[in-house]
Amino acid sequence: MKDFLPICKEDMIKRGWEQVDFVYVIGDAYVDHPSFGPAIISRVLESEGYKIGIISQPDWKDENSIDVFGEPRLGFLVSAGNMDSMVNHYSVSKKRRSKDYFTPGGEMGKRPDHATVVYGNLIRRKYKKKPVIIGGIEASLRRMAHYDYWDDCLKRSVLLDSQADIISYGMGERSVVEIADSLNSGIPVNEITFVRGTVFKTKSLDGLYDYITLPTYDELCADKLNYAKSFYIQYCNTDAFSGKCLAEPYPGGVYVVQNPMSPPLSTEEMDRVYALPYMRNYHPVYEKYGGIDAIKEVKFSLISNRGCFGGCNFCALTFHQGRIIQTRSHESIIEEAKTIIKDPEFKGYIHDVGGPTANFRHPACKKQLTKGVCANRQCLFPKPCPNLQVDHSDYLSLLRKLRELPGVKKVFIRSGIRFDYIMADPDETFFREMCAHHISGQLKVAPEHISDTVLKTLGKPENSVYRAFCKKYAAINKKLGKPQYLVPYLMSSHPGSTLKEAIELAEYLRDNHLSPEQVQDFYPTPSTISTCMYYTGVDPRTMKPVFVEHNPHGKAMQRALIQYKNPKNYDLVHEALELAHRTDLIGFDKKCLIRPRGSGDKAANSIKKTNKQTKFKTSAEQKYGISFDKYDKMKEAEKERSRDNRAKRRK
């Protein structure tokens, strides 16, 4: 039957079930759409014959809230949701957000901070020995000891703090089915140590083969440099082909062991996952609250790929989806598009076709599908690898097929486009067609910064590449007669960025007449190279020191410089320019960022008036051939005669 999975005992009984195999506890509202991880995992398990009951956003203060279905036959699955619960709750300034887009009506407070840990402990209080498997982005990126920005400390593996038995990390379709099959066959949960893409705990390493022992948790806490070294070992072992087993020792003789990542899904496997009977919407029980806002951005979008070989240092994709591109077939995507077209709310616009990086439709090079990615080299940074396959033809062919479908007016690309990958392509066909057919007036791209010093720590290409892209983009649009613009995503306070680089970015914005409405301050989320830099003060790849702005006021100054035109930022910008000894940028010259203190609009108007008078004086002298003083006296005499004449007429 095609329907939402049970959310209560009544739903379970309607299906004729006496007991569910797994209770799935999630921190988001229940949305049965393939853009939501819990929907994919639950549907994959259902397709394997398992009975799943969904408990969405339980009251973590009430033990009975996870007892909706009673005791499951095999165990509990736990996910904090589509986002890390801390990112969901707090801005980079650690202020509480006002809206939760994954909760009915956008209401905040329906899930706890560190939701995976809280839900795990909630279950464990009620069911002491029932298997608990945690997954999703929060568990995946906190699978080993990690820096927690919100508590500003090094935390243990989430496996220990949640009292769970196993973590299914990364994209968990394969691992969760293998765990389920193992439990179903009667294997005790503490003996399920052989599944790739999982993390488990043990007191003995005797059964491990070809593993690396990481520094102990105590050593990590004692010296940040130990954490940097440990993190880089983990980073070099995220590949499904070359990655080794990692063991992290904890006090009490406990080891947290990470098995190598699950192999990437084949195209056939991807197609099967996305062809499952999703309802493609939120559960109707939320309708009375106004629905779930998170569905709006993805309801009429198509996922075409997974993974990213871009390797940006501030992105956690390397740890979660991996660097090997996995794609769906054209046929699979077109079938989904036809389903979208039938939706009564569809207006003819496919909002997006892509994934983490839209224009990646195949692995970076041929060897990746047999030998994996290079452990210590990037595909695009600092320069494109000589072995990189640059080819947009498959993606372009897909877009052409989609825009020819009956009922489709426009197919947009709104997910990330790697402009450096486009620039590496000698064939401009995709670039031209993207501008001609797939942009809605503006294209969002992510140069992040323009200082090569900062771009190096970001793992992004040199600024010259972005400048060349902008030039070509403008030229193509001019030829097409389309007034389309670029909207650059910019980041402030990333490790490596001092006031000098922040001012360099402000000058670039000034020279290019850009006024960003939004600025992203660097957000140190778990399991990224940039977060490791933020915490340790060194680049884990080289162990060389990196400048890190930790002071909130210093961060505020860098952010204000990007929006230097905003009057609210005047004091911060003025202070930053003084501290950086760049007071040459304070004045009335067109190269200046701000005016002197106290000048305000009156000073500006005064200068304009003076300039206007100067021009007038010059023109008067040219017209009458006399000095301005004589001209001024002549005009005063004329005014006096006019007054006398008016007085005589009144008499």
pLDDT (mean) for 612-619: 47
| Beta strand spans in 406-458 (E) | 410-411, 442-448
Do residues 349 and 409 make contact, with C-beta atoms less than 8 angstroms apart?
A: yes
Q: Are residues 17 and 145 in the same domain?
A: yes
Q: Which amino acid is residue 46, in one-letter code?
A: E
Residue 148 pairs in a beta bridge with 153
Residue 126 in this model has a pLDDT that exceeds 70? yes
Which residue among 198, 213, 239 closes a domain?
Answer: 198
Residue 430's nearest CA partner among 406, 398, 467 is 398
> What CA–CA distance (Å, rounded) separates 223 from 538?
12
pLDDT of residue 612: 47
The two tokens of residue 294 are: 């998170």
How distant is the alpha carbon of residue 191 from its chain centre? 36
Q: Are residues 612 and 567 in the same domain?
A: no
**Residues 7-23: pLDDT tens digits?**
999 999 999 999 999 99
Residue 392's nearest CA partner among 427, 356, 438 is 427
**Residues 165-187: pLDDT tens digits?**
999 999 999 999 999 999 999 99
**Cα 572 to Cα 302, 308, 553, distances in angstroms:** 43, 37, 9
The two tokens of residue 216 are: 């102990």
Q: Are residues 70 and 136 in the same domain?
A: yes
Q: Which amino acid is residue 370, in one-letter code?
A: T
248 belongs to a structural domain: no
pLDDT of residue 610: 44
Residues spanned by the domain of 368: 300-440
Q: Are residues 591 and 609 in the same domain?
A: no
**Residues 518-539: pLDDT tens digits?**
789 999 999 999 999 999 999 9
**Residues 310-348: pLDDT tens digits?**
989 999 999 999 999 999 999 999 999 999 999 999 999
pLDDT (mean) for 53-60: 97
pLDDT (mean) for 241-257: 97
Residue 617 in this model has a pLDDT that exceeds 50? no
Q: Which amino acid is residue 63, in one-letter code?
A: E
pLDDT of residue 519: 84
Mean of per-residue pLDDT scores for the chain:
92
Q: Are residues 314 and 381 in the same domain?
A: yes
Do residues 96 and 44 make contact, with C-beta atoms less than 8 angstroms apart?
A: no
> What CA–CA distance (Å, rounded) separates 360 from 309?
8
> What CA–CA distance (Å, rounded) separates 426 from 423?
7
Q: Which amino acid is residue 292, in one-letter code?
A: I
Q: Which amino acid is residue 631, in one-letter code?
A: Y
Q: Are residues 24 and 160 in the same domain?
A: yes
246 belongs to a structural domain: no
pLDDT of residue 635: 63
Q: Are residues 466 and 395 in the same domain?
A: no
Q: Which long-range contacts (CB under 8 A, 24 or more apart) does 503-509 make?
A: 503/561, 503/576, 503/577, 503/580, 503/582, 503/585, 504/450, 504/451, 505/449, 505/450, 505/451, 505/561, 505/562, 506/561, 506/562, 506/564, 506/573, 506/593, 507/585, 507/593, 508/450, 509/562, 509/564
Residue 305 in this model has a pLDDT that exceeds 90? yes
- Domain of 115, CATH number, reads 3.40.50.2300
pLDDT of residue 620: 45
Q: Give the count of domains, the chain.
A: 4
Which residue among 198, 233, 261 closes a domain?
Answer: 198
Q: Are residues 180 and 64 in the same domain?
A: yes
Q: Are residues 151 and 23 in the same domain?
A: yes
Q: Which amino acid is residue 477, in one-letter code?
A: N
**Cα 300 to Cα 33, 354, 430, 447, distances in angstroms:** 11, 12, 23, 27
446 belongs to a structural domain: yes
Q: Are residues 91 and 156 in the same domain?
A: yes
pLDDT of residue 207: 87
pLDDT (mean) for 423-449: 95
Residue 149's nearest CA partner among 82, 228, 86 is 86
- Domain of 518, CATH number, reads 3.30.750.200
141 belongs to a structural domain: yes
pLDDT (mean) for 185-200: 97
DSSP 157: P
Structure confidence at residue 260 as a pLDDT band (50, 70, 90): very high
Tell me the range of 147-151, 205-209, 366-370 where mean pLDDT is highest.
147-151
Q: Are residues 143 and 53 in the same domain?
A: yes
206 belongs to a structural domain: no
Q: Are residues 646 and 582 in the same domain?
A: no
Sheet holding 75-79, edge to edge: 52-56, 22-26, 75-79, 132-135, 166-168, 198-202, 254-258, 245-250, 211-213
Residue 639 in this model has a pLDDT that exceeds 90? no
278 belongs to a structural domain: no
396 belongs to a structural domain: yes
Residue 355's nearest CA partner among 289, 413, 269, 409 is 413
> What CA–CA distance (Å, rounded) separates 43 from 163?
26
The two tokens of residue 445 are: 């791209």
More confident residue, 485 or 616: 485
Number of Cα atoms under 13 Å in the Cβ half of residue 496: 25
Coil vs helix vs strand at 490: strand
pLDDT of residue 632: 60
- At residue 258, what are phi and psi to the nearest 5 degrees? -105, 120
Structure confidence at residue 618 as a pLDDT band (50, 70, 90): very low
Residue 651 in this model has a pLDDT that exceeds 60? no
Residue 150 in this model has a pLDDT that exceeds 90? yes
**Where are the alpha helices (H) located in 404-451, listed in sequence order?**
419-423, 429-437
Which residue among 405, 440, 475 closes a domain?
Answer: 440
More confident residue, 155 or 636: 155
**Cα 57 to Cα 27, 29, 62, 82, 194, distances in angstroms:** 5, 6, 12, 13, 31
Burial class (CB within 10 angstroms; exposed 0-12, middle 13-18, buried 19+) of 203: exposed
Coil vs helix vs strand at 354: strand
CA angle 492, 494, 495 (to 5 degrees): 150
**Cα 329 to Cα 270, 398, 414, distances in angstroms:** 8, 9, 20
pTM more than 0.85: yes
219 belongs to a structural domain: no
pLDDT of residue 650: 60
